Structure 1
């Protein structure tokens, strides 16, 4: 199944994770284990789908979510995402 074929239900949001940076803006290369994903970390991503009970978040929004929240999924095209409850969205990014 592709991420575009999934529809979040109820108060859930499907967030597709942003790709991890492999190089800093200054040109330094990051080690494979560096970056977001550890305990207490935050994750940024793009909203792919919202449930019918979600308010204030829409498909296409860039969001910041708690790294602990949700259920991770991997789609057949290798894209990774999370189904989270809308309350686990920490911020909609401008």
Structure 2
């Protein structure tokens, strides 16, 4: 069997929260396993999940932006997204003029 993960995950049973839509919605989850690259979480079947969300695990003081990569029933696999550096100015190819 070919491993699709870059890092091994450790089994856990931590309570967490997924926040989405700019923090306006949140749903509780259980973090079932954890790695430096992602996690497997359990949520209610009835909860629709967006493509991206913020995961908080208070017990670990962990806050990560994540992408939901797969979902089966109550379980979902997430991959952490890289954090964009603050204060970086992104140049435009050319200035735009107001119309």
Question: TM-score, normalization: structure 2?
Answer: 0.29
**Relative contact order, CA 8 A, sep 6+: which one is greater?**
1
